[in-house]
Amino acid sequence: MRCKAFLVGAALTTLALAGCGRPANPVWQGYLEGEFVYVASPLAGKLDTLAVQKGDQVAAGARLFSIERISEIASRDQAVAQLGEAEARLADLEKGSRPTEIEALEARLEQARSAAALSSLDLKREENLFHSQAVSESEYDHARLTHQENLRVVDELAAELDTAKLGGRADAIAAARADVQAAQAVLARGTWGVDQKTQSAPRAGLVYDTLYREGEYVAAGSPVVALLPPENLKVRFFVPETDFAGLKAGDALSVFISEGAAPIKARISYLSPKAEFSPPVLYNRDNRAKLIFMIEAVFSGQEARDLHPGQPVDVARAGP
């Protein structure tokens, strides 16, 4: 069981204190505990670069390690090209025909209008000649039908010109826009994959351990660096039942790291709701003094940033 030695030592101390009477300011034994931040990549690969070593102090945002990312970079570049293609297709559909094609349609429309105007004049002349019986009915019908055909050509070319200016159909444009959005999503995923192959420190702290060496294969989600931010270092100590009732969260404490050194200020952050026995004992009314409670405290400032988990400490109430 983790820190069993500390637990037994704490129990012996508390029993000795209980046998000698309660001192005015009791001292409890404990040790330093760290809550580590394990930095990993969600993607697997060979560890290319390990930018830190055990014991380094790093700032937030400092690069920690990089994993090979050739495949991810290729996927991202492919996504960039696909997005460009989709955007070009959408732009082509939205702007319609090219200017030269529109100019050609406009020229054909002008020709058709001129032909319609000329056939209108021919029709009037044929109509006058027909009424004076100078031409046959067949010639008059030919002029009339020719003019009607010219008018239909004008209408047809005008509609084609309007369509050319509109661009692609609404459903085709909607499909092209969907293709652009899909390409953007693929690019975002590819960019994320490239970024995840390089990990930085989420918080400032001590590089407590490095779990891989350069060249080794790292499984997806496997931690490479263990960080210990200074605010994640805490004190864990044990008090007898007789002292536990007088403590509460937020109480100020003095933590003694070594004899003769100035104490470090801390405050209680957690009190265990469950009692433990100093083994071996049987639970009865006579040995209740052997009940102990685990308490955790956090440091108030940055004085403890150079301390390490596992260091034994003595804890007492802070003086006035």
Sign of the CA dihedral with 30 first, then 32, 37, and 38 last: negative
- 61 with 108, same domain: the answer is no
The number of distinct structural domains making up the chain is 3
Please report, in tens digits, the pLDDT of each residue of the chain (320 residues total): 344 444 444 444 444 444 444 445 789 999 999 999 999 999 999 999 999 999 999 999 999 999 999 999 999 999 999 999 999 989 888 776 667 777 888 888 899 899 889 989 888 888 888 788 888 888 888 888 998 998 999 888 888 887 777 666 778 888 999 999 999 999 999 999 999 999 999 999 999 999 999 999 999 999 999 999 988 999 999 998 888 988 999 999 999 988 777 899 999 999 998 887 655 444 445 555 567 889 999 987 677 777 889 999 999 998 76
pTM: predicted TM-score of the whole model, two decimal places: 0.65
Alpha-carbon span 210 to 145, nearest angstrom: 92
> Is position 273 within any domain?
yes
> Is position 296 within any domain?
yes
> Is position 124 within any domain?
yes
- 131 with 25, same domain: the answer is no
Alpha-carbon span 284 to 240, nearest angstrom: 16
Q: Please, which residues bridge with residue 313 across strands?
A: 30
CATH of the domain at 211: 2.40.50.100
3-state secondary structure 62-98: CEEEEECCHHHHHHHHHHHHHHHHHHHHHHHHHHCCC
DSSP string covering 241-277:
HHHHTT--TT-EEEEE-STTSPPEEEEEEEEEEEEEE
Alpha-carbon span 128 to 160, nearest angstrom: 35
Q: Using an 8 Å Cβ cutoff, are 207 and 225 in contact? A: yes
> What range does the domain containing 273 cover?
4-37+229-317
- 187 with 106, same domain: the answer is yes
